[in-house]
């Protein structure tokens, strides 16, 4: 079937399959192109908003226009009088939930608004839901509700928010940590340098807005919820949602074959998801809800604004004597997520006295959430500027200063690194960029057009997260295979890479592997987040493939009719669909022959992807990199243009160089965006985000983005997981923000105190 590869339809049991495209599309080998690429460019890929069950109702969420107070009245009668409006759901008539939305049973089980009462906790919060026969009718009904508020003055921004001391930051990290003694380290220093840095609230702004299509069906005498929605953790989310709905986890089928960007915003349950499922149950009809772009500014998370202080003590020889990273992070009034920005400085440079602290600042905003490189993106931005300020204070080149403080072991824990090729990243990145010969003094380089030139660098680092994932691989009698995992492709290439890992474990070519994925009915590959998806789901698939090989081996070795009979002592190799004697690879047998003789039509293997506990205990595990940037600044206008970026990264084994390059480039572009563009502006009076669309919320366009060169250096890591892969999804942002800020510092002499850096900030 030549066109099979572009047909993506749900299988009978709600999984999805994408076969490998034919090789004429240039998709063979380790650098295989995306399996979902053709489906996407031909429009065959269906996103949730493309799913339209017959007779579906349309749900429209009504969003609060104040940030603090209560809803005193809504004109429900006017909305219900609209001929196309079917129902108006408010706190008065919302069907009961089995779990209160403010009850917390799981770290990822965020408190949210599902019409539990009439309080307003932030602008953009759901205060009602209107169901209509058409999107237009529901939208008009929502307008007719005309809510009347009792508003209180909202607490917006660093000065108005209320400080609170958290125990944990992010999902799992401790809020404070100190080794050695900072005061003593600073007393020992020849120079103490201190910077403060503000980073703004940023919103994930995935291309695809959040969307939910919910339909209840009767299967085997019980009600099951079919839920189409883009989600980064399908099995986890199905289970958590089942808790609210009072049904068994396996009775929520969450389908998420394609995600138009997640970046963390599609990790959590949010009000519209719960309400859409409830509405569909109450109405006995499918309900479809698609958030508007503006409705993504509040209920589905954002990167928290932070205020950071870094204090560095340095000896005259350029060695750090102390490094203290103190963070204040804005958060909501009702949930505890605190941006773990201090983490960025705790595992990177060899300061003998090292500390971090975090304060949460509660205000009347939606809860912030993990956003690509949570913690490290904001933390590294401040840290890398602080490093350049300190390097200047002792008259050292920024790269030389970082090398003098190179950590041979994790400075925070004393653990050895499972692998760390950061020195090679520095060397190769610097060589490719041409860093040698950079003058120390600021304002000392100009281009031919008279623009001030600056060169800056930053170190990239991100932790190698690994969860526990499961997978299944089924080898068929014809030598092809089906690999099954509830994996998530939010654009990063999981459809392709996960098939590669299954093929590798199984010892067949990736083109022979059909991947079934994107649905909670499949084995739980865990969440796509924290740069840990390939490590987790990929390892599980590889192990499942190896399990099949183990079973084939047992069949062959014990069968006198097999040429491998009795080869047990020397072992076998699994290569291109054949088992070969390890001591004589000329002798072997094809999988299909082993199966045929055993009368097997298929053979199923299972696998678990999980970090070995002894390695997790023994080693610190991080991806690393070195980012170099050049900026050109108009001396009269202050216009900043990034003219070159080079990033060299060490991330263990590189499974698919093409995918990895995309991830690293994407991360570096995000770094540029952080440094110069992105900022959500909250109105202190209303608490609303004023620039809640892609016209007002700035991101870089092509003209802002220079030629970007990425490279990966060789790094073999036997401890991180069986595949030897680290993460690449987030490390590209870290280092990049600081590299650009430091290049601006070098061009102008101006030390930024906030991001984004704008024309008007420059001297
Ligand atoms: Mo990422 S912020 O872990 O989706």
Q: Which residues line ligand 1 (CB under 6 A)?
A: 232, 262-264, 267, 370-372, 374, 529-530
- Output the CA angle 426-432-437, nearest 5 degrees: 80
Tokens in use for 464? 């190698």
Bond preceding residue 99 cis, omega within 30 of 0: no
Paired residues of 513 in beta bridges: 481
Q: What domains does the chain contain, in order, with CATH numbers?
A: 57-152+206-292 (3.30.365.10), 173-201+303-465+618-761 (3.30.365.10), 467-610 (3.30.365.10)
Can you give the C-alpha Rg of the chain in angstroms?
Answer: 27
Q: Do 716 and 419 meet the contact criterion of CB atoms below 8 Å apart? A: yes
The Cα–Cα gap between 432 and 415 comes to 32
List the residue whose alpha carbon is closest to atom 4 of ligand 1.
264
Please give the number of the atom of ligand 1 that sits closest to the Cα of 490: 4
Identify the CA nearest to 381 among candidates 650, 676, 6. 676
Q: How far is the CA of 372 from the centre of ligand 1 (A)?
A: 5
- Output the CA angle 8-10-12, nearest 5 degrees: 140
Tell me the best of 233, 237, 268, 372 to mutate to test the pocket of ligand 1, counting ligand atoms within 8 Å of each CB and taking the most: 372
Q: How far is the CA of 427 from the centre of ligand 1 (A)?
A: 29
Helices (H), 33-165: 37-41, 76-81, 135-144
Please give the number of the atom of ligand 1 that sits closest to the Cα of 530: 3
Q: What is the pTM of this model?
A: 0.96
Q: Do 572 and 553 meet the contact criterion of CB atoms below 8 Å apart? A: yes
Neighbours of 188 (CB within 10 A): 14
DSSP letters, 640-676, are EEEEEEEEEEE-B--S-HHHHHHHHHHHHHHHHHHHH
User: HSE of 708 in the Cβ direction (CA atoms, 13 Å)?
Assistant: 24
| Model pLDDT, residue 3 | 47
Q: Do 662 and 489 meet the contact criterion of CB atoms below 8 Å apart? A: no
The Cα–Cα gap between 648 and 711 comes to 5
> Where do the DSSP E strands lie in 20-125?
57-63, 69-73, 85-89, 119-120
Q: How far is the CA of 5 from the centre of ligand 1 (A)?
A: 29
Q: Do 668 and 645 meet the contact criterion of CB atoms below 8 Å apart? A: yes
The Cα–Cα gap between 761 and 763 comes to 7
Collect the ranges in the chain with pLDDT lower than 50: 1-3
Q: Do 641 and 631 meet the contact criterion of CB atoms below 8 Å apart? A: yes
Please give the number of the atom of ligand 1 that sits closest to the Cα of 232: 4
Bond preceding residue 186 cis, omega within 30 of 0: no
């Amino acid at each position: 079937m030549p066109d099979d590869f572009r047909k993506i339809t749900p299988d009978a049991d709600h999984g999805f399959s994408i076969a490998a495209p034919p090789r004429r599309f240039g998709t063979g080998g380790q650098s295989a192109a995306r399996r979902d690429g053709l489906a996407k460019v031909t429009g065959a890929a269906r996103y949730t908003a493309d799913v339209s069950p017959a007779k579906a109702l349309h749900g429209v969420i009504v969003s609060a226009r104040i940030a603090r107070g209560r809803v005193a009245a809504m004109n429900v009668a006017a909305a219900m009088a609209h001929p196309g409006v079917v129902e108006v759901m408010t706190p008065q008539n919302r069907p009961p939930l089995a779990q209160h939305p403010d009850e917390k049973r799981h770290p990822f089980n965020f408190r949210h608004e599902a019409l539990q009462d009439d309080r307003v906790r932030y602008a953009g919060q759901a205060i009602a839901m209107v169901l209509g026969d058409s999107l237009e009718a529901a939208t008009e009904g929502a307008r007719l509700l005309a809510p009347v508020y009792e508003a209180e003055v909202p607490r917006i921004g660093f000065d108005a928010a209320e400080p609170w001391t958290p125990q944990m930051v992010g999902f799992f990290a401790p809020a404070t940590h100190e080794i050695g003694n900072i005061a003593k380290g600073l007393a020992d220093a020849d120079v103490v340098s201190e910077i403060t840095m503000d980073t703004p609230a940023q919103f994930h702004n995935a291309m695809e807005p959040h969307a939910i299509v919910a339909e209840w069906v009767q299967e085997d005498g019980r009600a099951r919820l079919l839920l189409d929605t883009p989600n980064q953790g399908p099995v986890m989310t199905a289970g958590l949602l089942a808790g609210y709905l009072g049904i068994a986890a396996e009775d929520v089928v969450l389908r998420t074959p394609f995600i138009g960007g997640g970046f963390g915003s599609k990790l959590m349950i949010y009000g519209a998801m719960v309400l859409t499922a409830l509405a569909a149950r109450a109405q006995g009809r499918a309900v479809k809800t698609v958030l508007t772009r503006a409705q993504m500014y509040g209920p589905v998370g954002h990167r928290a604004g932070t205020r950071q202080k870094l204090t560095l003590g340095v000896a005259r020889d350029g060695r750090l004597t102390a490094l203290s990273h103190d963070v204040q992070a804005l958060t909501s009034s009702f949930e505890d997520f605190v941006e773990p920005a201090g983490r960025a400085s705790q595992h990177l440079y060899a300061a003998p006295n090292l500390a971090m602290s975090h304060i949460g600042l509660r205000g009347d905003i939606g809860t912030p959430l993990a956003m690509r490189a949570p913690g490290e993106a904001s933390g590294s931005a401040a840290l890398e500027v602080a490093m350049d300020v300190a390097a200047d204070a002792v008259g050292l080149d920024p790269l030389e200063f970082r090398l003098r403080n190179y950590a041979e072991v994790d400075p925070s824990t004393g653990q050895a690194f499972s692998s760390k090729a950061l020195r090679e990243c520095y060397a190769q990145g610097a060589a490719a960029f041409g860093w040698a010969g950079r003058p120390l003094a600021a304002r000392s380089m100009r281009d031919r057009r008279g623009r001030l030139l600056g060169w800056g660098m930053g170190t990239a680092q991100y932790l190698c997260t690994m969860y526990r994932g499961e997978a299944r691989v089924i080898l068929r009698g014809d030598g092809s295979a089906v690999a099954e995992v509830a994996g998530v492709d939010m654009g990063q290439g999981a459809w392709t890479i996960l098939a590669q890992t299954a093929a590798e474990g199984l010892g067949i070519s990736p083109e022979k592997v059909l991947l079934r994925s994107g649905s909670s009915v499949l084995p739980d590959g865990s969440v796509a987040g924290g740069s840990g998806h390939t490590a987790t789901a990929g390892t599980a698939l590889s192990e499942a493939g190896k399990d099949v090989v183990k079973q084939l081996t047992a069949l062959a070795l014990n069968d006198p009719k097999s040429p491998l009979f009795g080869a047990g002592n020397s072992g076998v190799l699994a290569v291109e669909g054949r088992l070969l004697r390890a001591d004589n690879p000329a002798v072997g047998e094809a999988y299909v022959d082993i199966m045929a003789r055993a009368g097997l039509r298929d053979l199923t293997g299972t696998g678990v992807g999980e970090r070995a506990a002894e390695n997790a205990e023994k080693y610190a595990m991080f991806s690393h990199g070195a980012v170099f940037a050049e900026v050109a600044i108009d001396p009269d206008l202050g216009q900043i243009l990034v003219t070159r970026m080079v990033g060299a990264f060490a991330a263990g084994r590189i499974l698919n160089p093409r995918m990895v390059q995309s991830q690293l480039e994407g991360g570096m572009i995000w770094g540029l965006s952080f440094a110069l563009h992105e900022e959500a502006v909250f109105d202190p009076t209303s608490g609303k985000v004023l620039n809640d669309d892609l016209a007002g919320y700035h991101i870089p366009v092509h003209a802002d983005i220079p030629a970007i060169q990425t490279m990966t250096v060789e790094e073999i890591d036997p401890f991180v997981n069986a595949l030897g892969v680290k993460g690449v999804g987030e490390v590209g942002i870290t280092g990049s923000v600081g590299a650009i800020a430091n290049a601006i510092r070098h061009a102008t002499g101006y030390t930024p105190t906030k991001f984004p850096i704008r024309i008007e900030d420059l001297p």
